[in-house]
Amino acid sequence: MVSNMPSEEWAQEVEVAREVARNFYANAIGKLAVDYIRRLEPDALCELAESEAVKMISRLKEILDEDDAADPECFQRIDSIVSEFEWMGIYTLRHQ
């Protein structure tokens, strides 16, 4: 089928369709995650959360201990820590 839309409009339509598809996938994945979490016993969920927290703290310590990030203002270290927080879904206003 040939479209009568200008190429810019067509590109926008394609991007909208892709965004809708991404949203459907995100919704489906979110539902699967919620179902999984609901099946966990409270103690297992606490252990899982604690395990992830310990991993994050360990990674932050590694970043602080890195010799290659030894600039005087510690910018690289702070930036690495901010990136680690963002990777975990914890956002900060630092360096914006």
Tokens 């089928």, located at residue: 1
8 Å CB contact between 76 and 63: no
Which value, in Å, is the radius of gyration of the alpha carbons in the chain? 21
Q: How far apart, in whole angstroms, are the C-alpha atoms of residue 62 and residue 22?
A: 34
Question: How many Cα atoms occupy the beta-carbon half-sphere of 39 within 13 Å?
Answer: 6
Q: What is the pLDDT of residue 29?
A: 92
Tokens 């099946």, located at residue: 39
Q: What is the pLDDT of residue 73?
A: 67
Segments in the chain below pLDDT 50: none
